[in-house]
Amino acid sequence: MRADNKSPTSIRPDKPSSRPELFVLIAGPTASGKSALALALAELADGVVINADSMQLYKDLHLLTARPDAADEARLPHRLYGVLDGATRASVASWLVMLAEVVRDVRNAGKLPIIVGGTGMYINAAINGIASIPDVPAAIHHDAVERLAQIGGTAFRAELAELDPAMARRLFDGDSQRLVRAMGVVKATGRPLSDWQTDPHQGQLAGTPFSLAVMPPRAELYQRIDARFDQMITQGALDEVEALGARQLDEGLPVMKALGVRELLSHVRGEMPLEQAIDLAKRDSRRYAKRQMTWIRNNFNPNYLAEEKYSESLSQRIFANLLKTY
């Protein structure tokens, strides 16, 4: 099944370890087939699949976040999937620390790191690192969450614009997590988050990335999103969300903002019919995919752009391109 007769290890530079080391970085919107591509490429290249999706870090939502299933995990190693409890507030900085440790282990085992996900901040941080921004005290974060809930996203963003106009211009009214983060940083430090982000960055992965973008046609992607959500419901995603809701976690935690959680919890609480909850969750998923695609087009410069759905021949073509490039 390999594209030529080169061995998988031939794509990795010879040691000593002071030489740059290759890693693969795959970005794509939700339901684009990027996980299947990562798995196939890892089999061809003797690699390990590493998660760069902020929601797939959490163990609570296996189905709803479309984490790899048991069959995929049995085929070859997967790392950083389901490693955090939903009560944990993960961040780009904490993910970068985990990523560095995992990549080091993978390289020490003589395998190729294949990092895959749709969280733009994670993808960007793996390549460019992040600014060293102080942690926001819990009390200030809580106040920002409460204020957003009280006045809504539009008014909250207007208030943020008075303190950090550059960041307010970048965000949209519904981006509650980033709005709260920006407000918390400026309140805690007296310095806008947009200003902090101009500081020298650190934490990026050492080595040479081979980057891929998986960008299927939008109409086809939206059909895949709808069909996949129906499949999630059939497989038990509603029970999964009900169990999460029973934990009575802080609504501001990242896991509570996973696509579909808010709508399905509304159904569980008797606030809307299941059909309506599913329709709204699909709509939000499509909107999220559109934002992901916009981010990729504007911020990601891939070595290989795949504008088609996943297939075995696609993975073989990319593998051949990888061998040719490195």
SS3 per residue for 99-134: HHHHHHHHHHCCCEEEEEECCHHHHHHHHHCEECCC
Average pLDDT, the chain: 90
Task: Give pLDDT, residue 10.
Answer: 40
Contact (CB, 8 A) for 304 and 37 = no
CA distances from 324 to 13, 22, 24, 292, 318 (A): 13, 13, 14, 29, 10
Task: Give pLDDT, residue 197.
Answer: 86
Task: Give pLDDT, residue 2.
Answer: 33
Band of the pLDDT at 309, cuts 50, 70, 90? confident
pLDDT average, residue stretch 289-312: 92
Which DSSP state fits 58?
B
Structure tokens given for 25: 């970085």
**DSSP secondary structure string for all residues of 234-297:** HHTHHHHHHHHHHT---TTSGGGGSTTHHHHHHHHTTSS-HHHHHHHHHHHHHHHHHHHHHHHH
Per domain, the residue ranges of the chain are 8-131+202-325, 138-198
Phi-psi domain of 130 (left: phi exceeds 0; alpha: psi -120 through 50; beta: other): beta
Residue range 101-150, pLDDT digits in tens: 999 999 999 899 999 999 999 999 999 999 888 889 989 998 999 999 99
User: Is the pTM value of this prediction over 0.85?
Assistant: no
At 46, the amino acid letter reads D
Phi and psi torsions of 268, nearest 5° = -60, -35
pLDDT above 70: percentage of residues in the chain: 94
* Topology at the third CATH level for domain 8-131+202-325: Rossmann fold (3.40.50)
Task: Give pLDDT, residue 174.
Answer: 85
Secondary structure of residue 319 in the 3-state scheme: helix
Domain spanning 138-198: which CATH class is it, in words? mainly alpha
Contact (CB, 8 A) for 23 and 210 = yes
Task: Give pLDDT, residue 1.
Answer: 33
Residue range 38-48, pLDDT digits in tens: 999 999 999 99
Band of the pLDDT at 84, cuts 50, 70, 90? very high
pLDDT at 254 over 80: yes
Task: Give pLDDT, residue 211.
Answer: 95
Band of the pLDDT at 311, cuts 50, 70, 90? confident
Contact (CB, 8 A) for 204 and 102 = no
pLDDT average, residue stretch 169-194: 92
At 61, the amino acid letter reads L
Structure tokens given for 116: 């895959």
Residue 224: in which H helix or E strand, if any?
helix 218-235
